[in-house]
Amino acid sequence: MKRVIQTLAALAVGGAVMAALVVGVGLYNVSAREGHLPGVRWVLHTTYQQSVQLRAPEPKKVPDDIQHPDRVTVGALHFKTACAFCHGLPGQAQSATTQSMEPPPPHITDAVSGWEAEELFWIVNEGVKMTGMPHWPAPGREDEVWSVVAYLNALPDAQAQVALAGEGRERASCTQCHGENGNSRNSYIPRLDLLTPGQIAEALRQYRDGRRESGIMQEAAGLLSDSQIAAMAQKYGSPKAPQWQGEEAPEAETPGALLAQSGNGDVPACTACHGPGRRADAPIAPLLAGQSKAYLEGQLKLWREGKRGGGERSELMRKAAQDLTDDEIATLVDWYRSSCSSHRSNLYCETWGR
């Protein structure tokens, strides 16, 4: 027994000495040109696979709209901007620099192979140590992560959506996402032509400075200068938004109308700031009538869950939304939809049926 203990102790000391040499002296060659020792790659990749499968959310967490073309397009546009420089685009080869990485990032068509949607969500959201794969930069924005997963989940049969992302790996422009003149036709992307230049500029500064979290918009706005932000705000914003907000609201006694026009308890009425029928002495908040149902529902749920920040009235919006149920949010958005349909002569309502 004594000999066994001595042998084990000697092995332990030998292992400690070897570890000290590897770490302290640099015996292990970390050159990407040399790659890993035999067996190390298998150990690391198997650990990666098992870790993802253990920690991925359950399949029931996958959103019902994971196959919606608009959501796939949002993911495609962001993938082009933030991911394609490593993983490439369908039908295009990766760069020589990317292929020289160790481990090399798999081409996108290979990277998604064998993974379920919920597992892809975990990989995109959490990232992977020692591979160069980053975590999603905006904590709590699972809605954005699911949009990227929607695109990945659609591959390789997503050529129409890939085409919408444009050719090559250049950064997606504001117009590609938000539409010509800011009039987006994508139900998951807000229309900028319903916002004032000041509202757009403030939102971009918030994204750039990290005061408002969004993995997609922080990527898009992170390197913008104040002058670039001002130019974009003038190009896409409309100074007429407050005028549209002042238009009279349609008469209705639906739950959504009552909630929007009368508020709930100590929560002020939505229309007081957002219109229609906005009071002249109330703050000018973003115009809601004219934005898509999917976008408005998503934003209200972010406010309710405390995942939406930015602006001087953030606390007011969190308080206004914190007790709303999914059904109340749906009825509220439906009323804004009907309020816009009563003003179809106005430009801002012409794309409401999204």
Render pLDDT for 251-304 as a digit per residue (tens, 0 to 9): 778 888 888 988 877 667 899 889 888 877 777 889 999 899 999 999 999 999
Of 1.10.760.10, 3.40.50.300, 3.30.300.20, 3.10.105.10, which CATH number belongs to 63-172? 1.10.760.10
State pLDDT tens for residues 64-121: 999 999 999 999 999 998 999 999 988 889 999 999 998 899 999 999 999 999 999 9
Q: Which of 1-10, 90-99, 170-179, 238-247 has the highest mean pLDDT?
A: 90-99
Please report the pLDDT score of residue 156 as a whole number. Answer: 80
d(CA 272, CA 253): 17
Confidence of residue 349 (pLDDT cuts 50, 70, 90): low
Burial class (CB in 10 A: 0-12, 13-18, 19+), 83: buried
pTM listed for this prediction: 0.88
| Other beta carbons within 10 Å of 297 | 16
Name the amino acid, one letter, at 70: D
102 within 8 A of 29, measured Cβ to Cβ = no
Domain ranges in the chain are 63-172, 241-349
At residue 310, does pLDDT exceed 80?
Answer: no
Task: Classify 241-349 by CATH class.
Answer: mainly alpha
Please report the pLDDT score of residue 159 as a whole number. Answer: 55
Give percent of the chain with pLDDT exceeding 70: 91
Please report the pLDDT score of residue 47 as a whole number. Answer: 94
The reply to whether 241-349 shares the fold of 63-172 is yes
At residue 164, does pLDDT exceed 60?
Answer: no
Q: Encode burial over 187-225: b for 16+ CB neighbours within 10 A, e otherwise.
A: bbbbbbbbbbbebbbbbbbbbbeeebbbbbbbbbbeebe
Please report the pLDDT score of residue 24 as a whole number. Answer: 79
Q: What is the mean pLDDT of residues 318-334?
A: 91
Please report the pLDDT score of residue 61 as a whole number. Answer: 95
d(CA 228, CA 136): 25
